[in-house]
Amino acid sequence: MTATDGEVAQGVIDLSLVAALADPRAATARHRRRRTDQIDDQQNAGPPTVSVVIPTLNEARNLPHVLPLVPEWVDEVIVVDGRSTDDTVAVARELLPRVRIVMEPLPGKGRALMTGMHAATGEILVTFDADGSMDPREIPRYVYSLLAGADFVKGSRFMHGGSTDDMTLLRRVGNRALTEVVRRMYGGRFSDLCYGYNAFWRDVLPYLEGRAPGFEIETHMNVRALCAGLHVVEAPSFEAERIYGTSNLRAVPDGFRVLRTIFSERRSMARSALPERNTPRPPAALGGIDVGGRRLVVPTTQRDLPVPTRTTSVAICTHDPERWPDLVAAVESVRSQAAAPQEVLVVVDHDVRLLARATAELTGVRVIANEDAKGLSGARNTAVRHADADILAFIDDDATAEPDWLERLLAAYDDPSVVAVGGAVLAHWDLGDRPAWFPEEFDWVVGCSYRGLPEVRTPVRNLIGCNMSFRTDVLRSVGGFDEGLGRQGANGAGCEETELCIRVSRERADARIIYEPAARVWHRVPSERSTWAYFSKRTRAEGRSKAHVAELVGTDDGLSSERSYVVRTLPAAVARGLGQAARLDGTGARRAGSVVAGLSMVGWEYARARANGRAGSR
């Protein structure tokens, strides 16, 4: 990428500007070389440092709602002020004495951000707005994704777990249309485009530079990251309304500037001399930043890593003699792990013949009879009672684990605040492929990961029962699984792991539950579960289970993830299906119809169960 006169005019307060007047290209190259040398020195020095960059313009009344919420472990907070006429600078210094103030004489949010990012010294840079619409307490979510292997993390208000209270209908439609243009021109699967909450490693900054003086800066950075081949990850984010003042955003004019940026970036990147970054960034093996405010050492090289001392038990609960071949395959996949477990527990749920066969024929495992109430929750609680290891992992009897499954789960436990880790569950259809009408957003119907879940190691509310693990002492301290929830035979009920994870988070304020999609298992989906009858039965059972969970833990916690799933993920699935139908793909309309029908059945059974529960309590 070659610098231009316009790039130099972005207001970077640096001595290299003097030289730029004579030779802007040479000056910018020297600046980049110097920054690269600093990056190398920082990476060899130890754990990564974090800088936060906040552009401001007359935000004195909003800063008290922003700066005190920046985590204490952030190494550097930079406020880039764009000629404010109120007390923005004085208020910033009063609220946060360690703040660095950088003045940007030229107008525009893009110029202010670039100035602040060049002035920052941290290895990780985080950017967000000063108007109170973005919560600094989300910073650990972004940093954690970077430590897990991402190059660039962009906030999204429209993915599963995100939302906004600050967008008009016109802006929503415009943002969606512009996002679709980027997806078609550059690829990727962005769900949001014009949002300013971002985080990235400093060494990718040269890929993000360019001419974007105003609100189009977010689009500029997002498109550049795609074109450069960076590993881009979206993080769910909540956008509140601006607290005080009036936004400088003008929907229509700024929308056209964004559209112009989308098209101009294709030409800019075509002339780039920077190499594409196709080498994956290795994830940090230690947890990085703790939500509670403690800095955890993150080694930068493999030789710095301590030898793990954890022990692991793996539990496989079984109840159906017809699944015997699946059970044997599950046991073999666990015994073949690269990180071998200390023990494998096979818990048989109240079936004497199956218990006798497992005891006689399975080798290298401990076979135990369910000592608690019949059902999956009782069987799991029996495993909790008998496990001898520090970590207890669960896998279904009709699933097989990839060889590095356990190793990837255990890696996340290097962070002491992590109490549970789960992974991705991939569908292995007996039919060979999913039915044409079956939407990916409803793969939870067959016990698998569904479209809308994170694509990189991320904190979540709850895990998927087929692929999850916990610290054994945590399971025991909270009393294990609720035996009033969970599957009993073929009744299709569930949500016992959801309730358990919510209970763990409530009882341990600093607890983190992590979803690691790289820890994968394959879940067999027999042909009888590929039918509309099973889809209907399972969605209705889910509605009843959600009602039970909501009664136990309240709707705020019990339905927190489901709200964004219903409001964001499912409407996008319907729109995608109808778009495919418009292109004469008949299966698109069928999938859209399945989404609407599935949601309706879940909602109907949920409402009916809640009404019956209230009537019973009266």
- CATH code where residue 118 lies: 3.90.550.10
Q: How confident is the model at residue 487 (pLDDT cuts 50, 70, 90)?
A: low
Place of tokens 């608690």: 372
Residues 199 and 320 in one domain: no
Residue 21 lies in a domain: no
Q: What is the mean pLDDT of residues 247-253?
A: 67
pLDDT (mean) for 20-48: 42
> Are 84 and 204 members of one domain?
yes
User: Above 70 in pLDDT, residue 532?
Assistant: yes
Average pLDDT value for the chain:
80
Same domain, 63 and 210: yes
**Spatial separation of the C-alpha atoms in residues 402 and 167, rounded to whole Å:** 43
Q: Cα–Cα distance between 307 and 101 in angstroms, integer?
A: 43
Instruction: Show which of 533, 556, 585 is a domain's final residue.
Output: 533
Secondary element (H or E) of residue 366: strand 366-369
Which of the two residues, 304 and 462, has the higher pLDDT score? 462
Residue 36, in any domain of the structure? no
| Residues 364 and 474 reside in one and the same domain | yes
Cβ neighbour number for residue 92 with a 10 Å cutoff: 26
What mean pLDDT comes out for the span 211-235?
Answer: 84
Tokens (6 digits) for 292: 């509670």
Whether 253 and 358 share a structural domain: no
Q: What is the pTM of this model?
A: 0.58
User: Mean per-residue pLDDT for 508-523?
Assistant: 87
Give the model's pLDDT for residue 251.
63
Catalogue the E-assigned strands of 390-503.
Answer: 391-395, 399-401, 418-429, 458-459, 467-471
Helix (H) or strand (E) holding 566: none
Residue 116 falls inside a structural domain: yes
> What percent of the chain shows pLDDT beyond 90?
38
- Ranges of beta strands (E only) in 161-309 are 163-164, 198-201, 232-236, 238-239
295 near 159, Cβ under 8 Å? no
Q: How far apart are the first and last CA of the chain?
A: 70
Whether the Cβ atoms of residue 218 and residue 266 lie closer than 8 Å to each other:
no
Task: Using alpha carbons, list the distances in angstroms from residue 466 to 49, 227, 336.
Answer: 37, 37, 18
What are 341-398's pLDDT values in tens digits? 999 999 999 899 999 999 999 999 999 999 998 989 999 999 999 999 999 999 999 9
Q: Which residue has the higher pLDDT, 262 or 242?
A: 242
The pLDDT value given to residue 295: 41
The answer to the question of residue 197 being in a domain is yes
Has residue 587 been placed in a domain?
Answer: no
* Band (191; pLDDT cuts 50, 70, 90): confident
If asked whether residues 314 and 250 sit together in one domain, one would say no
Strands (E) in 223-365, as ranges, are: 232-236, 238-239, 312-318, 343-348
Q: Is 513 in a helix, a strand, or coil?
A: strand
* Nearest-angstrom CA–CA distance, 571 and 564: 10
pLDDT exceeds 80 at position 2: no
pLDDT at 456 over 80: no
* Boundary of a domain, candidates 508, 533, 558: 533
Residue 387 domain-assigned (yes or no): yes
Structure tokens at 190: 């962005």
Question: What proportion of the chain, given as a percentage, has pLDDT over 70?
Answer: 80
Q: Is there a domain that residue 237 lies in?
A: yes
Record the tokens describing residue 536, joined without a space.
Answer: 């209907």
| Judgement on whether residues 316 and 237 belong to the same structural domain of the protein | no
Mean pLDDT of 523-552: 85
- 153 forms bridges with which residues in the sheet? 199, 233
pLDDT level of residue 560 (50, 70, 90 thresholds): low
* Number of domains the chain is built from: 2
* Residues 211 and 355 grouped into a single domain: no
The highest-confidence range among 280-289, 302-311, 600-609, by mean pLDDT, is: 600-609
Same domain for 185 and 67: yes
The 8 Å CB, 24+ separation contacts for 593-601 are: 593/437, 594/437, 594/438, 594/439, 594/442, 594/535, 595/439, 595/441, 595/442, 595/570, 598/439, 598/442, 598/445, 598/535, 598/539, 599/566, 599/570, 601/536, 601/539, 601/540, 601/543
For residue 11, pLDDT over 70 is answered with no
Instruction: For residue 604, tell me if it sits in a domain.
Output: no
Question: Does residue 274 have a pLDDT over 70?
Answer: no
The runs of H, that is alpha helices, within 120-250 are 139-147, 169-186, 205-208, 217-227
pLDDT at 39: 40
pLDDT computed for residue 250 by the predictor: 66
- Both structure tokens of 323: 């699944």
Do 192 and 154 meet the contact criterion of CB atoms below 8 Å apart? yes
Note whether 456 and 315 are same-domain residues.
yes
Paired tokens of 481: 């699984």
Residue whose token pair is 């859209």:
592
For the cut 70, the answer to whether the pLDDT of residue 284 exceeds it is no
Instruction: Give the residue among 423, 408, 419 at the shortest CA–CA distance from 468.
Output: 423
Is residue 89 scored above 70 in pLDDT? yes
pLDDT at 499: 86
Instruction: State the pLDDT at residue 166.
Output: 77
Q: Is the pLDDT of residue 97 over 90?
A: yes
Give pLDDT tens digits for 121-173. 999 999 999 999 999 999 988 998 888 888 999 999 888 778 888 778 888 88
Q: Which amino acid is at 611?
A: A
The verdict on 266 and 314 lying in the same domain is: no
216 and 316 fall within a common domain: no
- Domain range for 339: 309-533
